[in-house]
Structure 1
Amino acid sequence: MTVLAERSAAPSNIAPMPAITRLVGVGTAVSGAPVSQTELLDLMRIDDPRTRSVFLNSAIDQRHLTLPEPDAAGIRQPEPQGDLLDKHKRITVEMGSAALQTCLKRIGASLAEVRHLCCVTSTGFLTPGLSALMIRELGLDPHCSRSDVVGMGCNAGLNALNVVAGWSATHPGELAVVLCAEACSAAYAIDGSMRTAVVNSLFGDGAAALALVADGPGADAPTPPGPRLLKTASLLITDALEAMRYDWDREQGRFSFFLDPQIPYVVGAHAEIVVDRLLAGTGLRRSDIGHWLVHSGGKKVIDAVVVNLGLSRHDVRHTIGVLRDYGNVSSGSFLFSYERLVEEAVARPGEYGVLMTMGPGSTIETALVQW
């Protein structure tokens, strides 16, 4: 280890905080073919200038989607809800398997070592849950502890991290995995409404796995390197409870997602509140945070968070890059950004980071980590 790596970058006036667990590995996967916004407009035969502008001004270059096959006339027809649920099951298992195995390979762990698996998805409904399907698909130990977080939307990755961190803290040395698998193309509606256009212009398919191991006296081996999870904080904006929702569209006989046009400004206006709560009692200021990993919720959401927290574009470079390359992959978006930060290898021991996700509720979730 170099002298530079050994030198702590932590502010000198901050007292050490006990770790809940460590983030020791990450892996991602996508499904379907990459498709640009222009290609998607042509595939879906969207000619309306107003609708096209929503797609083309989204700050998204491409996304991975599994679209319905064209009919004899070359038109991609809306899929029945049953077919969409089948698609969700197939894609989430495929992507989830790939992401989890990539994550484990990077830390030199085997499938047999996974002792808790928490699966997150909001783009379809499964019973038994995705965790059970993943255990069967990958041949994990059937005694593996498991949990499923469903219906919480784009913020749910940090909700799962909070849950699994508690399990990890009571099982030091044992490997736990949070797996976010979102088949957003299984939640697509195809019609001419602006409501649909806003949603269809934004979301993509993706899965991300995060491995956790806690330090402790029961650990048989040294904990692998990775940032320590120190604290979490949440905010439910009850006045905006209906601003993001996934509900039944009676006209189409299927579920449909709704995004209120004001949601970026609602999230932005409340971001400062929850971050201040996260840092309260730590002695840290926002200026002490070296790394910001924010959910790639959309261009306006990112801009609103940047303005309200006083961040730079460099602070959210990975958030912007993930949105550009994958769109909004829902609950796993922040882990796509975390993977890029890990690959960048710029985080130094002692530095702090904030993870932030936003979703239905309207909800903002945050976590404080230290390298």
Structure 2
Amino acid sequence: MPTLSESPFPDNGPRIVGAATAVPPESYTQREILDLYGITDPRLRSLFLSGAIERRHLTLAPPAPGGGPSFESQGELLAKHRRTGLDMGRRALAACLEEIGASVDDVGYLCCVTTTGLLTPGFSALLIKEAGLPSSCSRVDVVGMGCNAGLNGLTTVAGWAATHPGRLAVMVCIEACSAAYVFDDTMRSAVVNSLFGDGSAAVAVIADAPGGAGAESSAPPGRARGPRILKFASRVIPEAIDAMRYDWDDGHGKYSFYLERDIPYVVGGSVEEVIGRLLDGTGLRRSEIAHWLIHSGGKKVIDSVRVNLGLTRHDVRHTTSVLRDYGNLSSGSFLFSYQRLAAEDVVRPGDFGVLMTMGPGSTVETALARW
């Protein structure tokens, strides 16, 4: 393993200094959802109960008088996306800043990531107004990229931090997945409805200021323990471009999300190549990666990635536990896993970690980090 003195990466690059999450107050077991809406079809019940998910936080419509969920128009779903998303995002941002002893006035750059609805102006402008961030705060919205988008957003945050040393950049992933549901008796809808949950995650990044007065020298002790972001690598699978997508459903008058049955295996079959490129030139072998923080895309996705990379169940323990407790949280899932790893207090200085997300495109995004 390369020593610190032999590392091909600068020792003052952007570092993750804090992360926090937020979810809606209401949560449901898979069985409670089935019973709430009177779903009796054995195929659908089996789908809900066999996916390694125990509970999800959701913002659900009440049951209709005749059974099943009440109809929500596309306009009502967009309103839910804004209302629920802004509440979660504001709480995740506030908790992240509190963790690192920073205030909203310290934020110089804000990236907001979402796929579960379209807003203009987007969440970045809304959060600047609602959370009281400086009006001079630079911002960007990453919209419609799906579950992989957390690392696409982190790329922009790390890049801004690297060119503005000593200044704080924040990414907030905001996914109100229950604002993107279609309810009917099809397997297509049931796959989506059984998998996704609502959640937001915020992560703070800073690079050392000139002369060393940056994240490690001026921050509270807890902020220096996060990893430096060393490198990113991507893999787009054009032949699977339609495997994960939003379609307009004329029958329901709203957007409907589609997941192809075999996409977990397509994604899993692509991860070895992208990890090879991520580690190329670093002197690292895959076996020297101590921590794997992988998007909780679903049981089949996790198993496929694990088998193709030769990982143990222990390696993906945070990924599977987040899936169990929250479902698929789309772009912010990997930060829920990051938070669980941080809470374990098992990371040691010099440890390397890989962050991985997967989503529409079809795409695998990765990042290499070092504590």
**TM-score over 0.5 (shorter chain):** yes
Give the match for residue 286 of structure 2: 286
Alpha-carbon distance between aligned partners in 2 of 1:107 and 1:14, rounded to the nearest angstrom: 28
TM-score (norm 1): 0.95
CA contact (8 A) 1:158 1:357 kept: yes
2: CA distance between counterparts of 1:14 and 1:155?
33
Q: What's the offset of the Cα at 1:77?
A: 2.1
Give CA deviations for 1:121-153 in whole Å, capped at 9, x if unaligned. 000000001000001111111111111000000
TM-score, normalised to structure 2, is: 0.95
- Deviation at residue 251 of structure 1 after TM alignment: 1.4
* Matched letter for residue 293 of structure 1: L
Q: How big is each residue's C-alpha offset from its partner over 1:223-251, in whole Å with a ceiling of 9 and x where there is no partner?
A: 54121000000010001000000121111
Q: Which amino acid aligns with 1:36?
A: T
Corresponding residue for 1:120?
113
Q: Distance in 2 between matches of 1:78 and 1:300?
A: 31
Deviation string for 1:287-345 (max 9, x for gaps)?
Answer: 01000000000000000000000000000000000000000000000000000001111
Q: Which residue is 1:197 aligned to? A: 190
Q: Distance in 2 between matches of 1:217 and 1:301?
A: 43
- Which residue of 2 is the match for residue 110 of structure 1? 103
Q: CA deviation at 1:18?
A: 1.7
- 2:37–2:67 CA contact under 8 A, matched in 1: no
Three-state SS of the structure 1 residue aligned to 2:341 is helix
Further displaced range: 269-278 or 243-252: 243-252
The range that moved more, 72-81 or 179-188, is 72-81
Stretch of structure 1 that moved more, 249-258 or 200-209: 249-258
How many equivalent pairs are there? 362
**Which whole-Å CA distance do the structure 2 matches of 1:298 and 1:28 have between them?**
20
Equivalent runs, 1:128-143 vs 2, <5 Å: 128-143=121-136
Q: 1:32 to 1:247 in 2, by over 3 A?
A: farther
Partner of 2:357: 357
Equivalent residue letter for 1:296: S
Is 1:14–1:282's contact at 8 Å kept on the other side of the alignment?
A: no
Distance in 2, matches of 1:366 and 1:15, equals: 23
Q: Please give the per-residue CA displacement for 1:26-58, whole angstroms capped at 9, x wherever unaligned.
A: 000001411000000111221110111110001
Decide which of 21, 46, 63 is 2:14's aligned counterpart.
21
| Structure 1 position 170 matched with structure 2 position 170 | no
Structure 1: 5+ residue stretches without partners = 1-9
Percent identical residues: 62
Give the match for residue 251 of structure 2: 251
- Partners of 1:191 and 1:15 lie apart in 2 by 58
Corresponding residue for 2:148?
155
Q: Tell me, what secondary structure is at the counterpart of 1:92?
A: helix
In 1, Cα distance between equivalents of 2:204 and 2:115: 21
Separation in 1 of the partners of 2:130 and 2:266? 40
> Partners in 2 of 1:31 and 1:246 — Cα distance?
24
CA contact (8 A) 2:234 2:364 kept: yes
Q: CA RMSD in A?
A: 1.4
Correspondence 1:295-334 to 2 at 5 A: 295-334=295-334
Aligned residue runs from structure 1 range 331-346, under 5 A: 331-346=331-346
User: Match for 2:334: what amino acid?
Assistant: F
